Amino acid sequence: MNPEFAGGVFSAAGAEFADWYARLWRPLGELTVAVTRPAPGDRVLDACCGSGASAVPAALAVGPSGHVDAVDVAEGLLAQGRAHAAGLTQLEFTRHDVLTWTAEPYDLVQCVYGVFFFPDMDAGARRLVSLVRPGGRFAVTTWRRSNMARIVPIAQAAAAAERPEADRPDGRAGGPERIDTPEKLTDWLTGLGLTGITVEPVEFVQPLHPEDAWKLYLGAAMRAFLTGLDEAAVARVKERFLAGLAEAGITTLDCGSLIAVGRVPA
Ligand SMILES: C[S@@+](CC[C@H](N)C(=O)[O-])C[C@H]1O[C@@H](n2cnc3c(N)ncnc32)[C@H](O)[C@@H]1O
């Protein structure tokens, strides 16, 4: 996704993104940091930080002697992040395209559900790896192959009936499916020059009420499918989307994820 477009989509998604914070983004952010385990005093970059789901736990881990830069293009989410971080002076939220972010080298760069938004996922990840100090670590959290991958095409088809260009509106080169198994993710990180790669799978299936499914549509990247549609058209997309989920028998959300960490050679 073009970073400016991503910033607009996710800022507009702010209210519904917040609705899913407590039951999706925050627990998986906590789990990411339970795996990446930054040490007290570490310098951390949380790339594509959203509203701070993994940046806040990272800031708690590094403590007042450490520093966490939380960088995202969506001002609407950063504002929520600043509220979540109240009192954590070691955590700084900045609106910036993380692909052009420069800073002193980091002990850890973590990117949670972010790399597949980069217009070129490989080049973007290489850029993030270049911000890690020699011997430091790079971590990626991404979706494991799951019913999330079935929900997105249903969302897309529901919008395409109103707006044919909803077919891949974001111009992404590849996506989560390139790294949705431990093997694929390990190979990809190896290709980025990392060593000692570990991948922790996380199981996380939860009930999905249709109204919550619609909030997920509005509160995540799927929202991009609705670009330019008026209220009446959005209402028809909702109806088609919920009918599509029912037809596919989808009543749960599988947020199964993979949390990978690799080391940059010293
Ligand atoms: C699915 S959200 C995940 C947010 C957060 N990491 C979390 O787990 O709650 C993806 C985020 O990536 C951000 N993003 C996408 N491309 C970006 C870029 N080039 N620079 C900074 N942020 C970007 C979006 O604005 C969005 O907030």
- How does pLDDT run across 37-72, given as a tens digit for each residue? 999 999 999 999 999 999 999 999 999 999 999 999
**CA–centroid distance, residue 54 to ligand 1 (Å):** 12
pLDDT at 168 over 80: no
Identify whether the C-beta of residue 128 lies closer than 8 Å to the C-beta of residue 116. no
Q: What would the mean pLDDT of 216-223 be, rounded to a whole number? A: 94
The proportion of the chain whose per-residue pLDDT surpasses 90, expressed as a percent, equals: 88
Residue 174 has a pLDDT of 60
Question: What count of residues does the chain have?
Answer: 266
**HEC-encoded secondary structure of 163-214:** CHHHCCCCCCECCHHHHCCHHHHHHHHHHCCCEEEEEEEECCEEECCHHHHH
> Which of 26, 109, 117 is the pocket-test mutation for ligand 1 (most atoms within 8 Å of CB)?
117
Q: How far apart are CA 218 and CA 230, in angstroms?
A: 14
**CA–centroid distance, residue 264 to ligand 1 (Å):** 23
Q: How far apart are CA 201 and CA 233, in angstroms?
A: 38
Interstrand relation of 132-143 and 106-112 (parallel, antiparallel or unpaired): parallel
- Which among 145, 151, 153, 144 is positioned nearest to 252, based on CA atoms? 151
Tens-digit pLDDT profile for residues 188-201: 999 999 999 999 99
Residue 173 has a pLDDT of 47
Residue 217 has a pLDDT of 96
Token reading at 21: 């914070």
Q: How far apart are CA 186 and CA 182, in angstroms?
A: 6
Nearest CA to ligand 1 atom 23: 48
Helix (H, G, I), strand (E, B) or coil at 70: strand
**CA–centroid distance, residue 247 to ligand 1 (Å):** 31
* Confidence label for 139 from pLDDT (cuts 50, 70 and 90): very high
Q: How far apart are CA 37 and CA 191, in angstroms?
A: 24
Ligand 1 environment, Cβ below 6 A: 1, 3, 6-7, 10, 25, 29, 48-50, 53-54, 71-74, 77, 97-99, 112-114, 117
Helices (H) and strands (E) in the chain, counts: 10, 9
Q: What is the CATH number of domain 3-145+172-206+254-263?
A: 3.40.50.150
Q: How far apart are CA 222 and CA 199, in angstroms?
A: 26
* Confidence label for 166 from pLDDT (cuts 50, 70 and 90): low
Of 29-43, 49-63, 157-171, minimum mean pLDDT range: 157-171
Residue where the block lists tokens 């028809």 = 236
Helix (H, G, I), strand (E, B) or coil at 254: strand
The proportion of the chain whose per-residue pLDDT surpasses 70, expressed as a percent, equals: 96
**CA–centroid distance, residue 5 to ligand 1 (Å):** 11
pTM, full prediction: 0.95
Identify whether the C-beta of residue 139 lies closer than 8 Å to the C-beta of residue 261. yes
**CA–centroid distance, residue 255 to ligand 1 (Å):** 17
Q: How far apart are CA 264 and CA 136, in angstroms?
A: 6
